[in-house]
Amino acid sequence: MLQRVLIEAAGGPIELEAELIGSGARLIVFLHEGLGSVASWSDWPRTLCAAAGCRGLVFSRYGYGRSQRRPPGQVWPSDYLGIEAREHLPALLHALAIDPAREAPILFGHSDGATIALQYAAAFPQAAAAVIVLAPHLFVEHIARARIEQMRQGWQDGRLRARLARLHDDPEGVFMGWSGCWLEPAFQGWSISGALAAIRCPTLAIQGTLDQYGSLEQLFELQRRAPHAELLTLNGCRHVPHEEQPQTVRDAVVEFLSRLPA
């Protein structure tokens, strides 16, 4: 059942929507994409948790879904992903009485959520049991900016707005804040590559060969910085592997998790 969780953040308390699902000794924390929310996952977290014998935590980040809205017109900080990884996620775990020092979670992130997962594992190497990332962003590529610019130009036709309205209380705030940050000239040099060598836990990275937001160089850069990372590329797959090739992704994740130490 969805619940409202109050976390303590640097700028003051923030209320997030969150749900604990399934059962099992291990906990998987699901981190949604840049325009996602609890609802955007559909039944994927429950399906994966059932297949892997794990329980899960699904939540919508600040400003997303039914979580607390950001102030109108607020410019998102260029380090918004790092803030989520280093501040908001640890605060949420604390609010839910989950001690990552005692029970290190498995992080499962898609797109922006994958970037947050990697940054959390790098910042807290002893507080992550494993990282599974789908279509992660390690640095900005022209393909991503071009795609987001195209989306921004088409915002007024209403189709994307209508789709996001089913997922968020503030669809325009989510889209404009997210896209505005990515299209800022100062964001072109953004990268998390330098932090990745600190990741110690088992890591699985998955990306489609037709990803419209990034090339496979994102995965190759991860493996250069964290050589223990395992890579899986999916032919003919675009930006959402767990929707486009769910069985392949599920099987790969379950097999990967089966090799984690007890």
pLDDT band at 156 (very low <50, low <70, confident <90, very high): confident
Q: Is the pLDDT at 130 greater than 90, yes or no?
A: yes
What pLDDT was estimated at residue 176?
96
> Which two structure tokens, joined as six digits, stand for 117?
């997962």
Q: Is 19 helix (H, G, I), strand (E, B) or coil?
A: strand
Entry pTM? 0.98
What pLDDT was estimated at residue 202?
98
> How is the beta sheet containing 27-31 ordered, strand by strand?
3-9, 12-22, 55-59, 27-31, 106-110, 130-134, 203-208, 230-234
Q: Please say whether the dihedral angle defined by the alpha carbons of residues 257, 47, 208 and 36, taken in this order, is positive or negative.
A: negative
Q: Give residues with Cβ within 8 angstroms of 79, minimum separation 6.
A: none
pLDDT (average), residues 157-177: 96
What pLDDT was estimated at residue 183?
97
pLDDT, tens digit, 9 for 90 and up, residues 90-118: 999 999 999 999 999 999 999 999 999 99
What pLDDT was estimated at residue 42?
97
pLDDT band at 11 (very low <50, low <70, confident <90, very high): confident
What distances in angstroms separate CA 201 from CA 16, 76, 117, 230, one per listed residue?
27, 30, 12, 11
What are 9's strand-pairing partners? 12
Torsion angle, alpha carbons of 116, 117, 121, 127, to 10:
110
What pLDDT was estimated at residue 262?
78
pLDDT, tens digit, 9 for 90 and up, residues 24-64: 999 999 999 999 999 999 999 999 999 999 999 999 999 99
pLDDT, tens digit, 9 for 90 and up, residues 168-217: 999 999 999 999 999 999 999 999 999 999 999 999 999 999 999 999 99
pLDDT, tens digit, 9 for 90 and up, residues 53-97: 999 999 999 999 999 999 998 899 999 999 999 999 999 999 999
CATH number of residue 63's parent domain = 3.40.50.1820
Q: Is 175 helix (H, G, I), strand (E, B) or coil?
A: helix
What pLDDT was estimated at residue 7?
98
Q: Is 61 helix (H, G, I), strand (E, B) or coil?
A: coil
What's the domain count of the chain?
1
Domain that residue 68 falls in: 3-258
What are 40's strand-pairing partners? none
Residue type, 147: R
Neighbour count for residue 186 (Cβ, 10 Å): 8
Q: Give residues with Cβ within 8 angstroms of 9, minimum separation 6.
A: 62, 87, 88, 91
| Mean model confidence pLDDT for the chain | 97
